[in-house]
Amino acid sequence: MTQHFLLSAASKTLKLKDIYKAGEEAAYDKFCELRWVETGGEPVCPRCGGLDAYKIRSRRKFECKACKHHFSVTSGTIFASRKLDYTDLLAAICILANAAKGVSSIQLSRDLGVNYRTAFVLAHKIREALALETDGMTLDDECEIDGAYFGGHIRPANNAFNRIDRRLKENQTGKRRVVIALREREGRTLTTVGKSEAEGVRFAMDHLDRSASLHADEASHWDTLDSFFPVKRINHSEAYSKDGVCTNQVESYFSRLRRMVGGQHHQVSGKYLHQYAAHAAWLDDHCRESNGTLANRIIRNAMTAPVSRQWKGYWQRAAA
Ligand SMILES: [Zn+2]
C-alpha cells in the first residue's frame, strides 16, 4: 500500500517547536526574506522604492535614506499594525498550514494563547491573502463546475405533528447560500458564493478561457454554456462517472469544504462563506505540498497582499 502523502516525511518540513526554539529574530528574518525576495531580504522602501535604508534594529523599523519614510516589514501589507510577535505570527501560519480542514478561531486562540478576537481577524486576513493567489485567474483545458448549498438549516420539530414543509420558500430562513466551484483538472479551483447555482453560468463565462472544455451535471441552467464551450454532461441519477465524464474533482473539493465547515467552524455566516470556500480551494490545490512550503506560501501571499479593507480595525469598528 502506498503511504498517504500527509504521513510521509516529505510533508513535514516545519515544526512548531523549531519556530519557538529559533526565536523572534529568526522568525522576523523569515518575514523579511519573503517580503523582499528580490533583494534577499534587504528592505525596499514601500513609498519610493529606495533600496537604501537605515535599520533601527531595536524597533525592527527602517528609515528610507531617500525619502525619510519610516516603515517595517509588514507596512502596507495585510499584516500591517500587527500586535503579535513574529514567532506567534509564524506559529499561527504553521498551525493553519498543518490543518487540512482549516482551523477554528477558538482553537487557534487556545493554541497561541491569544484572545479570540485576535485569532479570528488573523485567520480571516490569512484567508483573504490566500484568495488573492487566484484573483483574476482564468482556467483552460478540462474543467468541472458544480455548486453546493450551505446554511439556512431549519431543524425539524420534535413532534411530527408540528413539522413544516422545509422545502417551501415561506418556510426557509433566506440564509441558504450556494458555493460554486470551477475546477481545472490537475489545476486550480476558483470559487464564488451566490444565492442560486444558476449564478455559476456567469461565473464560468467570466473565468473560463475560450479554449476550455467543461464537465457538468444535468442541472438545466448549465445548458446555456453549451453555446460557448464543449460541455460534457453526467447524469448523477445514472452514474457518478461515465466514459471519463464526471465532476468528481469538484465534488472532492466540496467534501473538504463540508468537513471544514461542519467539523471546524460548525456554523459559518453567509458573509464569510466565500473566505472559507477560497481557503478550502487553496488547500485542495496545494494538497501535495509540504507544510513548510505551504507556510512560505502563506507568508509570501500575506506580504504581497494589501492592507485589508474588511479586516483592518474590524473589532474597533464592530464596537463603534
Ligand atoms: Zn523611500
Determine the distance separating the centroid of ligand 1 and the alpha carbon of 128, expressed in angstroms: 28
* Separation of CA 304 and ligand 1 centre (Å): 18
What's the pLDDT tens digit per position in 1-45? 567 777 777 777 889 999 999 999 999 999 999 999 999 999 999
- Give the largest CA-CA distance in the chain: 77
Whole-structure pTM value: 0.88
Is the pLDDT score of 170 beyond 70? no
Question: 179 C-alpha vs ligand 1 centroid, how far in Å?
Answer: 43
Q: Which of residues 297 and 165 earns the better pLDDT score?
A: 297
Is the CB of residue 201 less than 8 Å from the CB of residue 221?
yes
Ligand 1 centroid to Cα of residue 42, in Å, is: 14
Neighbours of ion ligand 1 (CB under 5 A): 45, 47-48, 50, 64, 66-67, 69
Mean pLDDT of the chain: 89
> Rounded to the nearest whole angstrom, what is the distance from the C-alpha of residue 297 to the centroid of ligand 1?
27
Q: Report domain extents, the chain.
A: 10-42+76-133+305-319, 137-286
Instruction: Give the β-pairing of 213-217 and 142-150.
Output: parallel
Q: Answer for the pair 42, 36: CB distance below 8 angstroms, yes or no.
A: yes
Task: Please spell the DSSP secondary structure of the chain, one letter per residue.
Answer: -PPPGGGSGGG----HHHHHHHHHHHHHHHHHHHHSGGGTT----TTT--S-EEEEGGGTEEEETTT--EE-TTTTBTTTT--S-HHHHHHHHHHHHH-TT---HHHHHHHHT--HHHHHHHHHHHHHHHHGGGTT--B-SEEEEEEEEES---PPPSSGGG---TTSGGGS-S--EEEEEEEETTS-EEEEEESSGGGHHHHHHHHB-TT-EEEEES-GGGGGGGGTS-EEEE-TTT-SEETTEE-HHHHHHHHHHHHHIIIIISS--TTTHHHHHHHHHHHHHTTTS-HHHHHHHHHHHHHHSBPPTTTTTHHHHHH-
Cα of 114 vs centre of ligand 1, distance in Å, is 34
Distance 48 CA to ligand 1 centre (A): 4
Q: Which residues, including other chains, have CB under 8 Å from residue 22's CB and lie 6 or more apart?
A: none
How much is the average pLDDT of 226-253? 88
What distance in angstroms lies between residue 65's CA and the mean position of ligand 1's atoms?
A: 7
CA of 72 to the centre of ligand 1 (A): 12
185 near 143, Cβ under 8 Å? yes
pLDDT at site 75: 94
Is residue 266 predicted with pLDDT exceeding 80? Answer: no
In the block, which residue shows the cell 535604508?
53
Q: Which residues contact 73 (CB under 8 A, 6 or more apart)?
A: 28, 31, 32, 35, 43, 60, 303
* Cβ contact 228:143 at 8 Å: no
- The torsion region of residue 209 among left (phi > 0), alpha (psi -120 to 50) and beta comes to beta
Query: Ligand 1 centre from 196 Cα, in Å?
Result: 48
Distance between CA atoms of 290 and 300, rounded to whole angstroms?
15
Q: How far, in Å, from the CA of 76 to the mean position of ligand 1?
A: 13
Query: Which residue has better confidence, 264 or 187?
Result: 187
Among candidates 181, 84, 149, 177, which has minimal Cα distance to 123? 84
137-286 CATH = 3.30.420
Distance 56 CA to ligand 1 centre (A): 15
Per-residue pLDDT, 122: 94
What does the pLDDT look like over 287-318, one tens digit per residue? Answer: 989 999 999 999 999 999 888 888 888 888 87
